[in-house]
Amino acid sequence: MVEAKSNDLMERLVALCKRRGFIFQSSEIYGGINGFWDYGPLGAELKRNIKESWWQTMTRWRDDVVGLEATIIMHPKIWEASGHATTFADPMTDCLLTKKRFRADQIEPQSGTVYHFDGARDLAKWTSYIGNYPDSMREAVTEIVKEYSTVMSRTDADLMKDSAKIEARFQKEYQQAGNYNLAALNAVYEEFIKKGCDDPYSVLIATGKHPDYARKIARQFYQQRGLANPQLLGERAEKVENSTRYNPENGSLLTEPRQFNLMFKTWVGPVESAENLAWLRPETAQAIFAQFKNVLEVSRQKIPFGICQIGKAFRNEINPRNFTFRSREFEQMELEFFIRPDEAVEAICGRVAKPAGPGHPGAPQPDWGWQIWHQYWVEERLRFYENIGLPRASLVEYWQKPEELAHYARATVDILYKFPFSKRDANGELAGEELEGIAARSDFDLSQHQRFSGKAMGVYDEELKAAWPKLAEAKKAELSNRYFEARLKYLAKMGEPAPNAERLARAEAANLAKGNYVPHVIEPSAGVDRLALALLSNAYCEDQAPDEKGNLESRVVMRFHPRIAPLKVAVFPLLKNKPALVSKALEVRDLLRPHMAVFYDEAGAIGRRYRRQDEAGTPFGVTIDFETLGEQGAELKDTVTLRDRDTMKQQRVKINDLLPLLSEKIR
Ligand code: GAP
Which residue is closest in CA terms to ligand 1's atom 6? Answer: 437
By three-state DSSP, how is residue 71 classified? coil
Question: For 588-617, how does the pLDDT look when each residue is reduced to its tens digit (9 = 90+)?
Answer: 999 999 999 999 999 999 999 999 999 999
- 188 CA distance to ligand 1 centroid (A)? 59
**pTM for the structure as a whole:** 0.85
- Per-residue confidence band for 153, with pLDDT thresholds at 50, 70 and 90: very low
Q: How far is CA 277 from CA 82, 265, 285, 329, in A?
A: 17, 7, 21, 20
CA distance 402 to 256: 27
> What are the backbone dihedrals phi and psi of residue 635, each rounded to the nearest 5 degrees, phi first?
-65, -25
Check: CB of residue 439 under 8 Å from CB of residue 431: no
Ligand 1 centre to CA of 264 (Å) is 15
In sequence order, the 6+-apart residues with CB closer than 8 A to the CB of 503 are none
What is the CB < 6 Å shell around ligand 1? 283, 285, 315, 317, 326-327, 330, 332, 334, 434-437, 525-527, 529-530
Separation between Cα atoms, residue 502 and residue 491, nearest integer Å: 8
Residue 567 has pLDDT above 60, yes or no: yes
Residue pair 402/425 in contact by the 8 Å Cβ criterion: no
Q: What's residue 176's pLDDT?
A: 47
Residue 550 pLDDT class (50, 70, 90 cuts): confident
pLDDT surpasses 70 at 408:
yes
* Nearest ligand 1 atom to alpha carbon 414: 14
CA 265, distance to chain mean position in Å, is 20
**CA–centroid distance, residue 276 to ligand 1 (Å):** 27
- Cα 282 to ligand 1 centroid, rounded to whole Å: 9
List strand residue ranges (DSSP E) for 476-548, in order.
516-517, 520-527, 540-546
At 372, which helix (H) or strand (E)? helix 370-387
Residue identifier of the C-alpha nearest atom 10 of ligand 1: 525
How many residues comprise the chain? Answer: 667
pLDDT recorded at residue 602: 96
Using only C-alpha atoms, the chain has a radius of gyration, in whole angstroms, of 35
pLDDT above 90 covers what percent of the chain?
Answer: 79
Helix, strand and coil percent figures for the chain, each rounded to 5: 40, 25, 35
Distance 332 CA to ligand 1 centre (A): 7
The pLDDT value recorded for residue 268 is 96
Which among 273, 307, 259, 270 is positioned nearest to 76, based on CA atoms? Answer: 273
Closest ligand 1 atom to residue 434 Cα is 14
pLDDT in tens, 203-214: 999 988 999 999
CA of 75 to the centre of ligand 1 (A): 21
The closest of 4, 5, 7, 16 to 541, measured between CA atoms, is 16
Predicted local confidence at residue 5, as pLDDT? 39
Average pLDDT, the chain: 91
Q: If you measure from the C-alpha of residue 486 to the centroid of ligand 1, how many angstroms do you get, rounded to a whole number?
A: 28
Q: What is the pLDDT of residues 81-126, one digit of tens each?
A: 999 999 888 899 999 999 999 999 989 999 999 999 999 987 776 5
Half-sphere exposure of 576 (CA within 13 A, CB side): 10
3-state SS assignment for residue 359: coil
DSSP 448-483: HHHHHH-----EE-HHHHHHGGGS-HHHHHHHHHHH
Pocket test for ligand 1, best of 280, 330, 335 (most atoms within 8 A of CB): 330
Q: pLDDT tens digits, residue range 480-536?
A: 999 999 999 999 999 999 999 999 999 999 999 999 999 999 999 999 999 999 999
CA nearest neighbour of 308 among 45, 74, 73, 60: 60
Each residue of 49-92: pLDDT tens digit? 999 999 999 999 999 999 999 999 999 999 999 999 998 888 99
Nearest-CA residue for atom 18 of ligand 1 = 527
